[in-house]
Amino acid sequence: MSLVPGFTGGTLDRADRLRHDADALAAAMGNWQARLLKLHNFEPEVTEDGRLGWTMLTEAPDEAEFVLLGLEDGKPRFAAFVPGEKAPPPFRSPNLFGVLDQLRPGEAATFAAARSVIDWHARHGFCANCGSPTALFRAGWGRKCGSCNTEHFPRVDPVVIMIAEHEGRALLGRQPSWPAGRYSALAGFLEPGESIEEAVAREIEEEAGVRVSDVRYVSSQPWPFPSQLMIACVGMAAGDAITIDENELEDAQWFTRDEVKAALAGDGPFVAPPPYAIAHTLLEVWAGE
C-alpha cells in the first residue's frame, strides 16, 4: 500500500545550498519570480482549487524577516516572520479545520513547513543559553545569539501515535475536547532515553492499562501544531482489559476491522479522524490488513 499521510508529499526543493550563501540568498529575494506565502494569524489563504495563496515580497510588513521555504520549479518561495508577533495556540481554529480539508497534499506540506518554522521563531526570540536576544540567520532556518554566539535551530518533537491490536480488534480512545463521537489512536511524546517501541508500550499502558509487545512501525507525518513528528505504530496486546487514565482519556474501546472500515467510510460506530491526520492513515492500513 502506497502511503501519503497528510502534510507529506512536498514538492519544494528546500535549497539548503542557498541558506549558506548570502549573495545567492539576496539574489533569490530580488528575483522577480519570488513569492511570499499568504498567512493570516499563521493560517494560509487558500484558492478555490485548494492551492496556497502567494503574493510579492514587497507586500510583507516593513519589519518582516524572511524564511526561504525553497524553490518551486526554480522560483524562490518565502514565508515572513514579524518580530514580536505572538505565537499561535497549538490547537487548530475552526477556520483552519476547513482550510486543511481543502488543501492539496503537496500544498499542505509547504504550509506545514512554513507554519512550524514561523511558530518556532515566534517562541525563540531569546537565547536558551544566556537569555540574550537572538537574530534570524541561515535564511530563516536558525537563530543566533548576539551575546554568546550560540546557534539555535528549529526543533521537532517526536510523538508516537498507535493502536493496540487484540484478536482482530483495534484499541481506540477519545479525549473530552474532541468532537462528539470521535475516536482515534492513542498518542504521546517520546521521553529522553526511550526508543519508539518503548514509548508505544508505555503510552498504551499508561493511558489504557493495556500491555503490548511486538511493536511495528507503519508511517510518519510532520504535524505543524506546533512542530511534531508523528510516528505511527501498531502493538500486539496481551489482553483486552481496559483501565483508562481519566487525566488523558474520556473513554477507550475495542473496534473490529469492519467497524473501523465503516467509520472511515463515514457510516460507523464512531467518527474517524480527518484524512489529513496520520491516525486516519494508520486506521486505513490496519483495516486493510
Closest CA to 254 of 233, 232, 276, 269: 269
Q: How many helices (H) and strands (E) does the chain have?
A: 7, 15
pLDDT score, position 97: 86
User: Is 1's pLDDT higher than 70?
Assistant: no
Cell numbers found for residue 104: 492539496
Percent of the chain with pLDDT over 90: 90
φ/ψ of residue 53, rounded to 5: -90, 140
Q: Is 159 helix (H, G, I), strand (E, B) or coil?
A: strand
- The pLDDT mean for the chain works out to 95
* Helices 257-264, 278-287: crossing angle, 10 deg rounding: 130
Q: For residues 255 and 87, which has the higher predicted lDDT (pLDDT)?
A: 255
Cell numbers found for residue 61: 510588513
pLDDT score, position 70: 98
Q: Where are the beta strands (DSSP E) in 149-289?
A: 151-152, 157-166, 169-174, 186-189, 212-223, 228-237, 251-256
Side by side, the strands of the sheet bearing 142-145 are 134-137, 142-145, 151-152
Q: What is the pLDDT of residues 192-209, one digit of tens each?
A: 999 999 999 999 999 999
User: Is 110's pLDDT higher than 90?
Assistant: yes
User: Is 2's pLDDT higher than 90?
Assistant: no
Q: What is the pLDDT of residues 220-244, one digit of tens each?
A: 999 999 999 999 999 999 999 999 9
Residue ranges per structural domain of the chain: 16-124, 157-287
Fold of 157-287: Nucleoside Triphosphate Pyrophosphohydrolase (3.90.79)
Q: What is the pLDDT of residues 20-47, one digit of tens each?
A: 999 999 999 999 999 999 999 899 999 9
